[in-house]
Amino acid sequence: MLFDSRSCLKLYQWQEGVGRCQVWLTLIDTGSGLQGLLTGGEKPHVGGVVLATPRPSLRGEGWSSDVYMTPVPGHKDVEVARTMAEILAQEILSPVSITSGIHSDHLNSEELDEIMRNCRNLTQAALRSLKSVTKA
């Protein structure tokens, strides 16, 4: 069992796309931030970790974030995780950590674009869900 009714943790999951371009996002809301897993493709794995912490914008308007990335050498998975973590941290005003690993062999440029689009869609789906929970 992942969580029981006494747990203060909330688990959210989404998927986007099909086949070798499919990606999955799992978020755990700890009550003091989000822990995420972004995987997909034919070979889900751990390709790196990103931590985004919100802070007031240096321009004096709105919010920004500080981002710390630790990629596994030779992996670019943290790039999509970085964008996702930054957006989520700035919108929910809590730290967001995402472990990412998306891989399919010999992707062409259209497939890479599809994976990026799927990750953007997951980010928006997560925001909608998280914002609807905070309004309730």
Question: What angle do the packed helices 77-92 and 109-135 form, to 10 degrees?
Answer: 20
Give pLDDT tens digits for 77-94: 999 999 999 999 999 999
Q: Per the structure block, which two tokens stand in for 100?
A: 């990412």
Assess contact for 46 and 38: CB atoms under 8 A.
no
> Would you say residue 38 lies in a domain?
yes
> Would you say residue 6 lies in a domain?
no
Tell me the β-bridge partners of 9: none
Residue 3, pLDDT score:
53
Q: In total, how many domains does the chain have?
A: 1
> Would you say residue 125 lies in a domain?
yes
Assess contact for 89 and 95: CB atoms under 8 A.
yes
Residue 131, pLDDT score:
84
pTM of the model: 0.89
> Would you say residue 73 lies in a domain?
yes
> Would you say residue 75 lies in a domain?
yes
Residue 1, pLDDT score:
39
CATH number assigned to the domain comprising residue 80: 3.30.230
Which domain covers residue 120, as residue numbers? 12-131
> Would you say residue 7 lies in a domain?
no
> Would you say residue 5 lies in a domain?
no
